[in-house]
Chains A and B, each alone.
Chain A
Amino acid sequence: MTLIDLANPTKFLSLTARMLPWLAGATAILLLVGFYQAAMAPDDYQQGATVKIMFVHVPNAWLAMFVWGVMTLAALGTLVWRHPLADVAAKAAAPIGAAFTFLALVTGSLWGRPMWGTYWEWDARLTSVLILFLMYLGLMALWRAVDDPSRAARAAAILTLVGALNLPIIKFSVDWWNTLHQPASVMRIGGPSLDRAFLIPLLVMAIGFTLLFVTLHLAAMRNEILRRRVRSLQMMQASQQAA
């Protein structure tokens, strides 16, 4: 089965139906292992046990940006190549990405209170992630505002591409500005500066959450394809009854 077959929604649906149970199982295993490792991780000499919040905050923050990246690729698929499943992928990803961004903001806030003494701070990293969250919400509103799915897809694709400009700002905000949020300790030139006892659970959780996104995304794409099938059948039914 070649890559071009994936452009066929029906083939995609049958492939998804076969893959989803395995993906869900792998996700569950990785998240459980990660959770166990997070629980067993040692206390940080400075933060104590609150370092454990990092194991849920950081994967969600990474995913918040990663999902917008996925939507950007889908947007290019819609505008440049007119790939039939690109629209579906973009629409399905938005609510999931918004949820991860929300979790990143909330867990970060709950981590900030013990660590910095404040629930919120208007520094560059937090502000740009908050803007990202608002953009997710705006994107979801745009999807639902236009009735025709393909027109909605093209409008959403343009907004996604414009919003992608925010991603490098978020990533490098802690380097460009003197922020309260700490600088990068994993994804940096020179390799991670995090101790292995923290790095391993973090990576396991990160991969687990990424698999969670892939599982949820494929399931949501399946729902979106079915929703479009319902819509076209309803229109066909309406025209049959009118005739």
Chain B
Amino acid sequence: MSLGPYASFIVTSYALVAAIVVILIIWIAIDYRRQRERLRELEASGVTRRSGRTATEI
């Protein structure tokens, strides 16, 4: 598939889109893990929620 004389522009565009989307996914995933970790720590240190449910329960 020939992309013509401006192939680098096309490839760079798609690569940037892929990169930013991947960064977004990774950032959200890491944030999720971090919050779950903190909830586990809080649970372990004995704090209870008002509703009585466990801190880590989704």
Q: Please list the residues of chain A having a beta carbon within 8 angstroms of any beta carbon in chain B.
A: 10, 13-14, 17, 35, 39, 43, 48-50, 52-53, 56-57, 60, 95-96, 99, 102-103, 106-107, 110-111, 113-114, 212, 216, 219-220, 222-223, 226-227, 229-230, 233-234, 236-237, 240
Say whether A110 contacts B20, CB under 8 Å.
Answer: no
* Further pairs besides A99-B20, A103-B16: 10, Cβ < 8 Å: A48-B6, A49-B4, A49-B6, A50-B6, A57-B13, A60-B17, A113-B9, A219-B28, A230-B38, A233-B55
Q: With A48-B6, A222-B32 in contact, is A56–B47 under 8 Å at CB?
A: no
CA distance A216 to B16 in the complex (A): 18
Q: Please list the residues of chain B having a beta carbon within 8 angstroms of any beta carbon in chain A.
A: 1-7, 9-10, 12-14, 16-17, 20-21, 24-25, 28-29, 31-32, 35-36, 38-39, 42, 45, 47, 49, 53, 55, 58
CA distance A201 to B20 in the complex (A): 21
Dominant SS at the B interface? helix
Say whether A114 contacts B39, CB under 8 Å.
Answer: no
Say whether A226 contacts B36, CB under 8 Å.
Answer: yes
Q: List 18 A-B contacts (CB under 8 A).
A: A43-B4, A48-B4, A49-B6, A53-B9, A99-B20, A107-B16, A107-B17, A110-B13, A110-B16, A113-B6, A113-B9, A114-B5, A216-B25, A216-B28, A220-B28, A223-B28, A223-B32, A226-B39
Say whether B9 contacts A103, CB under 8 Å.
Answer: no
